[in-house]
Amino acid sequence: MRVVIAEDLTLLRDGLTRLLQAFDFDVVDAVDNGPALLPALLRLRPDVAVVDVRLPPTYTDEGLKAAIAARAAVPGLPVLVLSQHVEPLYARELLTDQCGGVGYLLKERVSDVELFVQNVQQVAAGGTAFDPEVVAQMLARREPLADLTARERDVLRHIAEGRSNAAIAGQLFITEKVVSKHINNIFAKLGLPPSEGENRRVMAVLRYLDA
């Protein structure tokens, strides 16, 4: 699996490179600034990009802007964003193209190597991987959807964090069949009929975060 890394801190950039290589990822490029990131993504078209939000020269949103521009040029290009702090606006902006293959994690989560690698693989496969703290703060700023039950919101929160039906069942101590029933109810209440052109799980997360 081919990866592009964008991180300005040398130690973290080298650490991410070695970590991913240890799990058989092929790190095809590792850049340290915003202007270098977009050309690298468009030229190499990696299976997934691991991108710091704040990169030189402005240290504001250089990484995010490059990621969004790359996804506009290559729809669905998988991007896992890393950030030092919870910045919900950035998470929502990355999701507005309504494609899968996106994630947003706090940098401290990298220390849990196994989970971090799983999140990278998840995003590369077209799924989502959102830090629980990011999801919690985004939801705290918005009112929950009135039509969803408490359990349905729990299920949707776990979907937003990138968990599979089996993982959600384990977290909530229910069967996968019950999880599937809750998800179908969520899709129905959010007005998301079956569609070949849209990922309903991603669309449901978008509706939830924007409610």
CATH label of the domain that carries residue 119? 3.40.50.2300
> Is pLDDT of 95 > 80?
no
- Of 13-27, 50-64, 97-111, 183-197, give the lowest mean pLDDT range: 183-197
- Residue 71 near residue 48, CB atoms below 8 Å: no
pTM: 0.68
Residues 124 and 150 in one domain: no
Q: What is the dihedral of CA 124, 161, 103, 139, to 10 degrees?
A: 160
Name the packing angle between helices 200-209 and 176-189 (round to 10°).
Answer: 60
- Do residues 106 and 120 touch, judged by C-beta distance below 8 A? no
pLDDT for 37-80, tens place per residue?
999 999 999 999 999 998 999 888 889 889 988 998 998 899 99
- The answer on 35 and 74 residing in a single domain is yes
Q: Are residues 54 and 6 in the same domain?
A: yes
Task: Please tell me the total count of domains within the chain.
Answer: 2
Q: Which H helix or E strand runs over 111?
A: none
Concatenated DSSP letters for 15-40? HHHHHHHHTT-EEEEEESSHHHHHHH
Q: Does 105 lie in the same domain as 71?
A: yes
Under 8 Å between Cβ of 139 and 148? no
Q: Which residue has the higher pLDDT, 52 or 210?
A: 52
Res. 195 pLDDT band, cuts 50 70 90: low
Same domain, 158 and 76: no
**Residue span of the structural domain in which 190 resides:** 142-209
What's the burial of 75, exposed, middle or buried (CB within 10 Å: 0-12/13-18/19+)?
exposed
